[in-house]
Amino acid sequence: MPPAWNPPHGPRLGPEPRSAGNFDLGPATRPDAVPGPIRTVTPRRYRERMTDRPPGSGLAAVSTALLAMSRHLEVRDVLKTIVASARELLDAEYAALGVPDDHGGFAQFVVDGVSEEQWKAIGPLPRQHGILAAMLHEARPERLADVRKDPRFEGWPAAHPDMSDFLGLPIRDGDETIGALFLANKRCPEGAAPAGGCGFTEDDEELLGILAQHAAIALTNARLYERSRELTIAEERSRLAHELHDAVSQKLFSLRLTAQAATALVDRDPARAKGELQQVAALAAEAADELRAAVVELRPAALDEDGLVHTLRTQIQVLDRAHSAHVTFESSGVRALPAAQEEAVLRVAQEALHNALRHSGADRVAVSLVRHGQGALLSVTDDGKGFDPRSVRRAGRHLGLVSMRDRAGGVGGRLTVQSEPGKGTTIEMEVPGG
């Protein structure tokens, strides 16, 4: 692997399994690569192959692996199960699975066979190039006797485990390559340890092909489940937000009327004015309680688990599917921010997206989050009808701008709004970082 990788925009997937780093580096072309499509294994050929395999890798073992993959609904659990099943079924020392993003890296990357200490020492995740690129973009298997002798190999970090024989296959959903599954260091049967190692065989390649076909089904089903759940969560949060708005608005309206009544009674009936002021205090306490409860209920838990970039990416993907406008997201070089800043950025993005999708009539909405000094710069741009910010303020309509400015200012940031009638809108938020 090259000495410097760029981390993916997606999250790391928990303490185990962890990334073993990149298995391939260098140019993505290789004249001696075996051409042709991935084999489709027929049931008859499969049964013939299985009867010749050693105990522990026959039909029962394959059935156990496939059942394990189909048992989970969470994408991260499915990925970990695929990797662990592949490694155990083919008796390899290392197994890994990478899910590509749209920026030349990996949105998700899991490995089985690497310790927590090794993972920390290895460093950032790999990029898509070399053998990985061949599997992802050319949809062909790669089986190498020694990956270190491949023309594309350029070494790996000092803490990376040493690997020799290599077997990799793309995971495909129709015409789309949704991942790459690969193994390294085939273990030799007991009592057999040739000098050059045992290496992966054609039978191993066919068995991994079966696993990859079922992995595609399991991973696609898990993605569909998560997308359905995300839509449900988004709808529920929207419902709660509307209910909160209505409830608090009523409380504040009552509080205002009661305060006006108390003002009118102060001079002529101090005793009644005192009672009205006590009612003001009670209404204010009720409103504060409702706001506090809403903050707890609507707290973006995904930020703690997945981080700001992945949380934004996931929510924007949901919005892109749910609305007629095309919603895109790009991110580059963003470091982890203090928790309060990340929540503020997420909330401002949500408010700006709500305005763009509900009020602007835009066909396209582009969201970007990039590194800005030690902090970050959020930008939400739409090609909608736009507005005159001065007219909005004079009319007493804010489109959430006051709330967004308060959120930005509350974490030491700055919000700017650029809009003209007929020319769309751009909302930018800068935060300083930690």
Q: 358 or 251, which is more confident? A: 358
Q: Are residues 351 and 380 both part of a single domain?
A: yes
pLDDT value of position 71? 67
Q: What is the pTM of this model?
A: 0.46
Q: Are residues 143 and 194 both part of a single domain?
A: yes
Q: What would the mean pLDDT of 299-309 be, rounded to a whole number? A: 72
Mean pLDDT is highest, among 294-298, 312-316, 359-363, 424-428, for 424-428
Domain count of the chain? Answer: 3
Q: Is 253 part of a structural domain of the chain?
A: yes
> Tens digits of per-residue pLDDT, 139-177?
788 899 998 888 888 778 788 888 899 999 999 888 888
Q: Are residues 356 and 291 both part of a single domain?
A: no
d(CA 144, CA 135): 13
pLDDT value of position 236? 64
Q: What is the SS3 assignment for 414? A: strand
pLDDT value of position 416? 93
- Residue 390 belongs to domain spanning: 303-431
Q: Is 14 part of a structural domain of the chain?
A: no
Q: Is 394 part of a structural domain of the chain?
A: yes
pLDDT value of position 380? 96
3-state helix, strand, coil in the chain (%, to 5): 45, 15, 35
Q: Is 313 part of a structural domain of the chain?
A: yes
Assign 244 a pLDDT band (cuts: 50, 70, 90): low
Residue 57 CB coordination number (10 Å):
18
Q: What would the mean pLDDT of 358-367 be, rounded to a whole number? A: 90
Q: 197 or 425, which is more confident? A: 425
What percentage of the chain exceeds 70 in pLDDT?
72
Q: 225 or 412, which is more confident? A: 412
pLDDT value of position 9? 36
Q: Are residues 118 and 178 both part of a single domain?
A: yes
Q: Is 19 part of a structural domain of the chain?
A: no
Q: Are residues 130 and 97 both part of a single domain?
A: yes
Q: What would the mean pLDDT of 361-377 be, rounded to a whole number? A: 93
> Tens digits of per-residue pLDDT, 95-145?
989 888 877 778 788 889 988 888 888 877 777 777 777 778 877 888 999
> Tens digits of per-residue pLDDT, 11-63?
333 333 333 333 333 333 333 333 334 444 444 444 444 445 544 445 667 77
Which of 264, 279, 297 corresponds to the end of one domain? 297
Q: Is 88 part of a structural domain of the chain?
A: yes
Paired tokens of 275 = 């009672």
pLDDT value of position 125? 72
Q: What would the mean pLDDT of 420-426 be, rounded to a whole number? A: 92
Q: Are residues 198 and 347 both part of a single domain?
A: no
pLDDT value of position 390? 76
Q: Are residues 326 and 262 both part of a single domain?
A: no
Residue 316 CA to its chain's centroid (Å): 11
C-alpha distances out from residue 106 to 66, 74, 133, Å:
24, 18, 11
Q: Is 23 part of a structural domain of the chain?
A: no
Closest of 280, 227, 211 to residue 46, by C-alpha: 211
> Tens digits of per-residue pLDDT, 395-411?
445 557 888 888 898 88
Which of 209, 226, 243 corresponds to the end of one domain? 226
Q: Are residues 393 and 257 both part of a single domain?
A: no
pLDDT value of position 228? 74
Q: Mean pLDDT score of the chain, rounded to an integer?
A: 76
DSSP state of 396: T
Q: 382 or 11, which is more confident? A: 382
Q: Which segments of 215-335 are extended strands (E)?
A: 326-332
Which of 201, 226, 251 corresponds to the end of one domain? 226
Assign 240 a pLDDT band (cuts: 50, 70, 90): low
pLDDT value of position 22? 38
Torsion 296-302-303-308 (CA) sign: negative
> Tens digits of per-residue pLDDT, 199-235?
899 989 998 888 888 888 888 887 787 777 667 666 7
> Tens digits of per-residue pLDDT, 60-99?
677 777 776 666 667 778 888 888 888 988 999 999 898 8
C-alpha distances out from residue 149 to 146, 166, 170, 271, 371, Å:
6, 11, 22, 93, 38
